[in-house]
Amino acid sequence: MSENQIRICQFIKLETSKGAVYYYQNYFIGESKALGGVPYSFVPFEIEGGVSSLNADNQQVTLRLPASEYAVRLVEEGDGNRLSKLVVYTRFINADGAIKTGGFDEDYVGIGASFSDDTIELRFRSALDGVAAGFPARTLTEENVGILPLESTLSLR
């Protein structure tokens, strides 16, 4: 590989709704690589998505796997990928194949799956909701903030 190429590996931790946990990476073909002391097996996959809006909608991503026995098992054990948990660790790889420290970590929750003849797609949304204009959704009362002033000069800090 050329010295100027960017090498990126995605490590995923997928926990099905039934509690089974799987660790996969998509860069080191035929190898198991450790990240944080946990071995991640090679599985060919891609993640695409990352749509967000000004309305604070959840970000959605798709994890695409080849239609294979392990991918079907992920869907079956995850009840159609409903409420599975996905953590994506994106790491850069040095020219010598070493995994650089730091990177991006993202958490998602499963919302469904779809199948075709050659691929299985697991759909996820971001684990945290965006903050909308109505935040906070609580009314100020004496029970949750204490004694309120009688005049209109209320200062929130």
In the predicted model, is pLDDT for residue 83 greater than 90? no
In the predicted model, is pLDDT for residue 44 greater than 60? yes
Q: How many domains does the chain have?
A: 1
Report the C-alpha gap between 138 and 149 in whole angstroms: 18
Q: pLDDT digit string (tens) for 7-40?
A: 999 999 999 988 899 999 999 999 999 999 999 9
Is 58 inside a domain boundary?
yes
pTM here? 0.74
Secondary structure of residue 157 in the 3-state scheme = coil
Is 117 inside a domain boundary?
yes
Is 84 inside a domain boundary?
yes
* Mean pLDDT, the chain, whole residue set: 82
Assign 75 a pLDDT band (cuts: 50, 70, 90): confident
What are the beta bridge partners of residue 12? 24, 88
Q: Quote the domain boundaries for residue 97.
A: 8-145
